[in-house]
């Protein structure tokens, strides 16, 4: 009981500051757009404005330069970007797409949006990314694409997944929403797949409120992405038949356009990405060193020859060594107002998949033993490794762990 003070006040006495990377440059850029009165440059008809205004084009050009791709297409969200990536990949009704079950729901619901069936593949027990060794067994004649998620900031086993996609002539999409700027060997994540998806949601490392992008090196995929983003059917109707592909006629376009205001904020955020990642990595490395004090928490694993950019910091909890369940530990940490939680419910447990499937049995938890055990018993995630938080906040986090364990003994 040595860590309990007499009044037993929470370790975190004040609410943690909200994540906020917006500075003078973003504010000035936004004001410039507001003063212009032109908050979006898009028009859904042939011509330059079909591609958006100057701020959207500048943001897309900067993404191409930063990540070494020839094409970048912006969207109003990463969900929209995923949906249009699948459209560009030719995914249609009754097709199948390989997806991990441990990720944000939009990764798989984007498949449903195409009328296709997500086929979940269990994850690696120590990295939490899709287990490439299990993918081939889930591939069928209906499989059209694989979505590999670079979860929490760590790349999936992208070289092995790339090889499988090539072997079976499948389109590989990287959901890179949580890992912008991470490295897989000497390559950036989002550049190994045929398409790489970024998120600009307010919780992400780079943010402009809402937004997303797709990068690729294939002009045909880029054409399809742009048609799907901006009412492409209206554009096709006004073009001579010789100027479009017959397959493009079947693409239904949406209003998935990023506004000029969002793009103006996102561009300086992209310019800050390296700096923002360095801060997260420094905080995470300090947390990793501090966690070595405890034999019941296993710090995050970083895949060999990769970098981790720590959108979240995941840990594994050993209930037997700790002498309490993971959920009991979580309850004690929450009483200290520490930023820690379980991760999202596995996607196969969401009712929509059974409702939309002709074979609901494929979504039974028994088919995903690694994901199921992690979610029920072991995984913990914290957002303590983000600015404007500091080493002092991590010290408090460690103090909260000590107190949570001491209160059990």
Reduced to 3 states (helix: H, G, I; strand: E, B; else coil), residue 223 is helix
Would you say 148 and 174 are in contact if contact means Cβ atoms under 8 Å apart?
yes
The pLDDT of residue 7 is: 64
pLDDT band at 2 (very low <50, low <70, confident <90, very high): very low
> Tokens standing for 118?
């997500």
pLDDT band for position 44 (50/70/90)?
A: very high
pLDDT above 90 covers a percentage of the chain that reads 92
The runs of H, that is alpha helices, within 187-318 are 219-229, 232-238, 260-271, 273-291
CB-based contacts of 362, cutoff 8 Å, min separation 6:
119, 120
Q: How confident is the model at residue 3 (pLDDT cuts 50, 70, 90)?
A: very low
Model confidence pLDDT, tens digit, residues 204-218: 999 999 999 999 999
Characterize 10-28 residue by residue with b for buried, 16 or more Cβ atoms within 10 angstroms of its Cβ, and e for exposed: ebbeeebeeeebeeeebee
CA–CA dist 176, 299 (Å, integer) = 22
CA nearest neighbour of 398 among 339, 341, 352: 339
Q: Could you tell me whether strands 187-188 and 183-184 are parallel, antiparallel, or unpaired per DSSP bridges? A: antiparallel
Q: Which two tokens stand for residue 71?
A: 């094409």
Q: What is the pLDDT of residue 408?
A: 61
What is the per-residue pLDDT for 390? 97
pLDDT digits (tens, 9 = 90+) for 77-117: 999 999 999 999 999 999 999 999 999 999 999 999 999 99
Instruction: Describe the chain by its helix, strand, coil percentages, rounded to 5.
Output: 45, 15, 40
Residue 6 has pLDDT above 80, yes or no: no
Long-range contacts of 355-360 (CB under 8 A, 24+ apart): 356/112, 356/117, 357/117
Rounded CA separation 161/142 (Å): 18
CA atoms within 13 A on the CB side of 380: 26
With 70 as the cut, is the pLDDT of residue 409 above it? no
| Domains of the chain, CATH where assigned | 24-271 (3.40.640.10), 274-406 (3.90.1150.10)
pLDDT at 242: 77
Q: What is the pLDDT of residues 296-312, one digit of tens each?
A: 999 999 999 999 999 99
User: What pLDDT does residue 8 have?
Assistant: 79
Task: Output the pTM of the full model.
Answer: 0.95
Mean pLDDT on 22-45 = 96
Could you give the dihedral angle defined by the CA atoms of residues 276, 278, 279 and 281, in that order, rounded to the nearest 10 degrees?
Answer: 120
Q: Who's near 203: CB < 8 A, 6+ residues apart?
A: 19
Q: Pick the closest to residue 321 from 397, 377, 383, 381 (CA basis).
A: 377
How do residues 158-209 score in pLDDT, each as one tens digit? 999 999 999 999 999 999 999 999 999 999 999 999 999 999 999 999 999 9
- Residue 4 has a pLDDT of 46
In this prediction, residue 321 has a pLDDT band, given cuts at 50, 70 and 90, of very high
Instruction: Give 116-147 pLDDT, tens digit per residue.
Output: 999 999 999 999 999 999 999 999 999 999 99
Q: Are 142 and 93 in contact (CB under 8 A)?
A: no
pLDDT of res. 243: 79
DSSP string spanning 156-214? --HHHHHHHHHHTT-EEEEE-TT-TT-EETTEETTSSSSEEEEE--TTSSS-SSS-EEE
Asked whether the beta carbons of 53 and 264 are under 8 A apart, the reply is: no
Q: How far separated are the first and last CA of the chain, in Å rounded?
A: 7
**325 has pLDDT over 80:** yes
At residue 121, the pLDDT reads: 98
Dig out the tokens for 50 from the structure: 């079909």
Is the pLDDT reported for residue 16 higher than 90? yes
User: For residues 228 and 241, which has the higher predicted lDDT (pLDDT)?
Assistant: 228
**Average pLDDT along the chain:** 95
Burial status of residue 65 (CB atoms within 10 A of its CB: 0-12, 13-18, 19 or more): exposed
CB 294 within 8 A of CB 398: no
Peptide bond into 388 cis (omega under 30): yes
Give the per-residue pLDDT at 357.
86
| Cα Rg of the chain (Å, integer) | 22
């Amino acid at each position: 009981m040595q860590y309990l003070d007499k009044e037993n006040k929470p370790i975190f006495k004040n609410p943690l500051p909200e994540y906020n990377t917006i500075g003078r440059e973003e504010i000035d850029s936004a004001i410039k757009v507001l003063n212009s009165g032109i908050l979006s440059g898009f028009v859904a008809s042939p011509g330059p404005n079909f591609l958006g205004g100057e701020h959207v084009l500048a943001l897309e050009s900067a993404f191409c330069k930063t990540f070494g791709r020839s094409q970048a297409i912006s969207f109003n969200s990463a969900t929209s970007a995923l949906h249009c990536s699948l459209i560009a990949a030719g995914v249609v009704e009754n097709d199948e797409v390989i997806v991990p079950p441990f990720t944000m729901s939009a990764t798989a619901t984007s498949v449903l949006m195409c009328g296709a069936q997500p086929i979940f593949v269990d994850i690696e027990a120590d990295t939490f990314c899709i287990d490439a060794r299990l993918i081939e067994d889930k591939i069928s004649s209906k499989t059209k694409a694989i979505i590999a998620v670079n979860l929490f900031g760590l790349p999936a086993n992208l070289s092995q997944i790339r090889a499988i996609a090539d072997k079976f002539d499948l389109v590989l999409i990287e959901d890179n929403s949580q890992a912008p700027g991470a490295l897989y060997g000497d390559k950036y994540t989002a550049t190994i797949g045929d398409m790489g998806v970024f998120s600009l949601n307010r919780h992400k490392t780079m943010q402009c409120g809402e937004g997303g992008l797709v990068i690729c090196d294939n002009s045909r995929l880029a054409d399809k992405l742009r048609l799907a983003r901006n009412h492409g059917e209206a554009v096709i109707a006004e073009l001579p038949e010789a100027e479009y592909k017959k397959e493009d006629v079947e693409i239904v376009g949406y209003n998935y356009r990023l506004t000029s205001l969002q793009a103006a904020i996102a561009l300086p955020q992209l310019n800050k990405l390296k700096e923002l990642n360095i801060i997260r990595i420094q905080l995470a490395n300090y947390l990793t060193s501090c966690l070595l004090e405890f034999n019941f928490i296993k710090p995050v694993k970083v895949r060999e020859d990769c970098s981790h950019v720590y959108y979240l910091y995941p840990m594994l909890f050993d209930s037997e060594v700790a002498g309490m369940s993971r959920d009991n530990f979580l309850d004690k940490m929450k009483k200290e107002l520490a930023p820690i939680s379980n991760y999202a419910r596995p996607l196969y447990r969401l009712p929509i998949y059974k409702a939309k499937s002709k074979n609901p049995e494929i979504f039974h938890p028994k088919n995903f033993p690694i994901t199921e055990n992690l979610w029920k018993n072991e995984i913990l995630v914290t957002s303590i490794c983000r600015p404007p938080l500091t080493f002092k906040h991590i010290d408090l986090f460690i103090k909260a762990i000590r107190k949570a364990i001491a209160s059990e003994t």
